[in-house]
Amino acid sequence: MAKILLVEDDDEVRDVLKTLLRDEGHEVFEAADGNAAMEEFVRVPADLVILDIVLPDKEGLETIIDLRRTYPNVKIMAMSGGGRTSPQDYLDMAKRLGAVEVIAKPFTIDDFLKCVNLVLKP
């Protein structure tokens, strides 16, 4: 299956998503912010980066820009529950910056896995 870098600052959410992805047979690597994500991606290039938009230190939108600049072919899936604005505003911007798919929090397990499979489809 795929190597997936999961970038989420909420430990509980990250643990649940990591378990779901591993149960689907994926190899999952983790980061809690954009800086750590960039370091982890250099260490282990992933087939897919799933990242939250609202993150400490380096936010998801900035991370998408950096990933696209350095690794233009990486597949990116963005997720957001909002912040200072609605989740859809962040997700629309993520799409414009290069996310292949986006998903708003809260989401169902089925919707999350459908989105992951859609991005990974050849």
What CATH number has the domain bearing residue 13?
A: 3.40.50.2300
Confidence of residue 122 (pLDDT cuts 50, 70, 90): confident
Residue listed under structure tokens 């992933």 = 46
What mean pLDDT comes out for the span 93-118?
Answer: 97
The better pLDDT of the pair 22, 88 is held by: 22
What mean pLDDT comes out for the span 19-34?
Answer: 98
The answer on pLDDT for 13 being more than 70 is yes
Residue listed under structure tokens 């999961």 = 6
Confidence of residue 83 (pLDDT cuts 50, 70, 90): low
The answer on pLDDT for 87 being more than 80 is no
The domain tally of the chain equals: 1
Average pLDDT, the chain: 95
Residue listed under structure tokens 């282990």 = 44
- The Cα 109–Cα 39 span in angstroms is 28
Q: What is the pLDDT of residue 97?
A: 97
> What is the residue range of 9's domain?
3-120
Confidence of residue 91 (pLDDT cuts 50, 70, 90): very high
What mean pLDDT comes out for the span 66-76?
Answer: 96
Q: Identify the DSSP state of 7.
A: E
Per-residue pLDDT tens digits for 1-12: 999 999 999 999
CA atoms within 13 A on the CB side of 6: 23
